[in-house]
Amino acid sequence: MYAVIGRDHFDVSRVKDIRKIVEDKVLPGVRALDGFVSATFLHAVDERDTGTAVLIFESEDAARAALARLAAVDAGGLVASHTLEINEVVGQS
């Protein structure tokens, strides 16, 4: 399995807007991607302007296809910076 890890920095005053977009648009879109296994979206407790997404896919090809689609997503100006990377899953429980 492979993971797409995303890290975003955003205006903390817009957290409610960002959460709504994740719930209403991002999650349904991610669930529909080929090879999708699971998705976890995190909001940092200490660095309140940071969010992390961990998206698990069945194969490297599926993860790369997802990364390409996610890189093209327009966050409507809510995200100040956005990084994506692929990691191989070496353990999970």
Give the domain extent around 36. 2-88
Model confidence pLDDT, tens digit, residues 21-78: 888 888 888 999 999 999 999 988 887 888 899 999 999 999 999 998 887 776 667 7
Whole-angstrom distance between the N-terminal and C-terminal Cα of the chain?
A: 13
Number of neighbouring beta carbons within 10 Å of residue 51? 21
**Dist. CA 77–CA 65, nearest whole Å:** 24
d(CA 67, CA 34): 12
Does any domain span residue 93?
no
Q: Domain holding 38: CATH number?
A: 3.30.70.100
> pLDDT tier at 10 (50, 70, 90 boundaries)?
confident
| Total domains present in the chain | 1
Considering only residues 12 and 88, tell me which one the structure prediction assigns the higher pLDDT: 88
Per-residue confidence (pLDDT) for residue 74, from 0 to 100: 66
| Consecutive H or E run containing 87 | strand 79-88
Neighbouring-strand partners of residue 5:
54, 85
Residue 76, in any domain of the structure: yes
Sign of CA dihedral 44, 47, 48, 54: negative
